[in-house]
A and B are shown apart, each in its own frame.
Chain A
Amino acid sequence: SQQGEEDPQALSIQEGENATMNCSYKTSINNLQWYRQNSGRGLVHLILIRSNEREKHSGRLRVTLDTSKKSSSLLITASRAADTASYFCATAGRGDKLIFGTGTRLQVFP
C-alpha cells in the first residue's frame, strides 16, 4: 500500500508561532487521522476527521480535509516547545488498517 506524502518534511519555528503541516493521499478514505510521535516512541492520536467533514478543531489543533484534492492540513496555533515532535497523518479506508504518511518533524524553539 502506498503511503501519503507530507510536507514539509521538517519545520522549525519559534514559540508562539503557528505550524502548518500538509498531507496528501492517493485513495478514497473513510477518515483521516493525525498522530504525534515524540523521539521515536509510541504514537499518540491527536484528531480524526471523517470524509464528510471539512474542518475540525481540538484545543490548539485545527484540521481541514479536502477530499476532492485528496489532501489535509494540520494547524497548531500558538506553538510551544513541548509541541516538538514528529507528526504523521494516517488514512483509513474500508477495514481497520491505517496507512501512514511520511511525517513532518516539527522543532519549536523557546
Chain B
Amino acid sequence: SAVISQKPSRDICQRGTSLTIQCQVDSQVTMMFWYRQQPGQSLTLIATANQGSEATYESGFVIDKFPISRPNLTFSTLTVSNMSPEDSSIYLCSVEAVPRGADTQYFGPGTRLTVL
C-alpha cells in the first residue's frame, strides 16, 4: 500500500486567484493521477502525470487551467488557475498500486476547494 498526503486539506479562495495543491507519496511511483469531484458528484479524471514527461490531460481539461508538475517519483502538484466558483470541488490525487499490474489505485485524502 501507499500513504498519500495532500496539502492543503481545504481552502477558500477568491475568484481570479490560483491555488497549488501538493501530493506527496511515501514510496516511488511511476504514475500519478489527479481527479476532480464536484459537489455531490463522482470523480472525473483531470490528467495523468508521469515523472519526466508532460502530463496527459483528459477531454475538457487543459494545461493552462490545470498545470501539473511532477518533479520526482514521490511528488506532484496541481494548480487550479484563474479560479471561478465553478472550480469549487474536491481535488484528489491517486497513485497506481505497487507492484504494477495490481490495477488498483491509492487515493489521497483530497483537497476541498471553495471559490467565492
Specify whether A and B are partners: yes
A interface with B by C-beta (< 8 Å):
1, 3, 30-31, 33, 35, 40-45, 48, 88, 92, 96-103
The answer on a CB contact under 8 Å between B109 and A45 is: no
For B4, what are the chain A residues with a Cβ–Cβ distance below 8 Å? 42
User: Is B106 part of the contact surface with A, judged by Cβ < 8 Å?
Assistant: yes
For B97, what are the chain A residues with a Cβ–Cβ distance below 8 Å? 45
Closest to A97 in B: B45
CA distance A33 to B105 in the complex (A): 10
What are some 20 contacts across the A-B interface (CB < 8 A)?
Answer: A1-B45, A3-B42, A30-B103, A40-B110, A41-B109, A42-B4, A42-B92, A42-B107, A42-B109, A43-B43, A43-B92, A44-B107, A45-B105, A45-B106, A48-B103, A48-B104, A88-B43, A96-B96, A97-B33, A98-B45
Q: How large is the interface on B (under 10, 10 to 19, 20 to 34, 35 or more residues)?
A: 20 to 34
Closest to B56 in A: A97
The answer on a CB contact under 8 Å between A40 and B112 is: yes
For B42, what are the chain A residues with a Cβ–Cβ distance below 8 Å? 3, 88, 100-103
Nearest CB on B from A24, distance (A) = 14
For A42, what are the chain B residues with a Cβ–Cβ distance below 8 Å? 4, 92, 107-110
Top 7 nearest A-B pairs (CB, nearest first) are A42-B107, A43-B107, A42-B109, A100-B43, A100-B42, A45-B104, A102-B42
Main secondary structure of the interface of B (DSSP, over half): strand
User: Is B59 part of the contact surface with A, judged by Cβ < 8 Å?
Assistant: yes
Nearest CB on A from B8, distance (A) = 14
User: Is B11 part of the contact surface with A, judged by Cβ < 8 Å?
Assistant: no
CA distance A3 to B44 in the complex (A): 9
CA distance A1 to B59 in the complex (A): 8
CA distance A1 to B48 in the complex (A): 14
CA distance A1 to B106 in the complex (A): 21
User: Is B54 part of the contact surface with A, judged by Cβ < 8 Å?
Assistant: no
For B31, what are the chain A residues with a Cβ–Cβ distance below 8 Å? 96
CA distance A44 to B104 in the complex (A): 10
User: Is B58 part of the contact surface with A, judged by Cβ < 8 Å?
Assistant: yes
CA distance A8 to B43 in the complex (A): 17
CA distance A73 to B108 in the complex (A): 26
